[in-house]
A = this chain, B = another copy of it.
Amino acid sequence: MLRIAVLGCGRIGQMHAANVARHPRAKLATVYDVHAPSAERVAAAQGVTAAANPEAVFASPDVDAVLIATATPTHADYIEMAVAAGKAVLCEKPIDLNLARVNACAARIAGTSVPIQLGFNRRYDPGHSAARAALLAGDIGDLHQVIITSRDPALPPRAYLEAAGGLFRDMTIHDFDLARFMLGEEPTEVFALGNALIDPGLGAELNEVDSAMFILRTASGKQCHINNSRTAVYGYDQRVELMGTTGMVISDNRKPNELRRYSAMQTEAAAPYQFFFLERYHEAFMAEIDGFVDCVEKGATPLASFEDGRRALILAEAAYLSMREGRMVKVSEVTA
C-alpha cells in the first residue's frame, strides 16, 4: 500500500483524497490545505490527521508520495520540495502558468530518480485508452486526422476565470496533451482562434475567450482539430476521433446509464452526459492512481510525465501567439 499525502483540499483535492482512501493499492497518509479548516474537514471524513504545513508532510516518514492538488502557483515549488525530500509526486496540471517557471523547475529536478507523474487524467480513461491501444495495435493503419471535442458543461464563476490563466492553459491544456498522446509525434505547427461567445463580457473585461477552435499539424503532416466551449448544456462533452488509412476509432461520451426513452416526439433519447470531470473521469482518476503506484513500486515510466506537462504548456503558448497574430505558428517559435 502506497502511503499518499494529498496537498490541497479544494474540489479536486477532496476527490483525490477520497479516491486514494478507497484505492485498493493506496492509503491516504494525511492531507494538507493552506486553509486549515478545509484540511480538517477532509481529514475527518477520511479518518486521517491533517498536516499543519507542507514541510511536515515532506518530512514525514509515513508519507511515501504526495499528490499535489493545491493552487497552480504552488505546484512547481511543491514539486521541487518533494523531489528534495525523495517523495514521489503526482501533480495536477498545469505545472505552472508561466513557461519560464516550468523550465526553471525542470532544470532544478533534472536527473532526479524520484517518480513524477502529471495529472493528465484523460490518458487513463478507458475509452480514450482503448482508442490509443487500437491505434498502436495497427487497427486503423496510419493515423491521418485526430478530432478532439472538449466542452465543459457550464461557464465557471468569474473568480475562477480570473485565476485560471486563460482558456488555453486551463482547459485546452488537457486537449493539447491528448493530441500529443494520440498523434504519437510532436505537433510542430499550431493555429488557434477564440471568441467570447457565451459571455461577451469576458472579452472586454478579462481579455478571455470561452469558445475556441484549433488546428495542429505534425512534421509528417498528421492533422488535428480541437474544439472547445465553456458551456455544453447537454453535459460534459468529451470525444476523441482517430482517422487512419484502414479504419477509424471514436471514443464517445459516457452516459450515466443506458436508459433510452421513446415517445410520440422522439426515440432512443438518452440522459444528459455525465455532468463533469468528477463523474466522467472517475475511472480515469482511479486508474491514474493505479499507474502512479506502479511507477513508485515497480519503477514503471509515468504515462504522463513532467515533460508532457511542459510540452502541453508550450502548445498553449504557441496557440496564444497564433490567436494574437492570426497565423499558423511554429512551435519552435515559442521554445526558442
Contact = CB atoms under 8 A, between A and B. Distances in A.
Contact of A227 (B225, B259, B271): B225
A263 interface: yes
Interface stretch (A94-102, A105-113, A215-223): A215-223
Contacts of A233: 245-247, 262-264
Nearest to A266: B269
B221 A197 contact: yes
Interface of A: 18, 22, 24, 125-127, 129-131, 134, 139-140, 142, 144-145, 147, 149, 151, 189, 191, 193, 195-198, 211-213, 215, 217, 221-223, 225, 227, 229, 231-235, 243, 245-273, 326-328
A139 B273 CA distance: 18
B193 A193 contact: no
Nearest to A273: B267
B254 A258 contact: yes
Contact of A245 (B231, B251, B258): B231
A223 B213 contact: yes
Contacts of A248: 232, 234, 261-263
Contact of A264 (B22, B211, B247): B247
A203 to B, nearest CB: 9
B267 A255 contact: yes
B195 A221 contact: yes
Given A327-B328, A328-B327, A259 B249 contact: yes
A271 B266 contact: yes
Contacts of A273: 267
B258 A265 contact: no
Given A261-B266, A263-B272, A268-B268, 6 more contacts: A126-B256, A147-B227, A191-B191, A252-B260, A266-B271, A267-B273
A144 to B, nearest CB: 5
Given A264-B247, A326-B328, A144 B272 contact: no
Best-surrounded residue of A126, A215, A217, A272 (most CB of chain B within 10 A): A215
A216 to B, nearest CB: 9
Contacts of A271: 130, 266-267
Nearest to A211: B144
B267 A257 contact: no
Contacts of A134: 259, 261
Nearest to A256: B126
Contacts of A197: 142, 144, 221-223
B328 A145 contact: no
A173 to B, nearest CB: 20
Contact of A268 (B189, B270, B326): B270
8 contacts: A139-B261, A198-B245, A233-B247, A247-B261, A248-B262, A248-B263, A252-B259, A266-B269
A127 B259 contact: yes
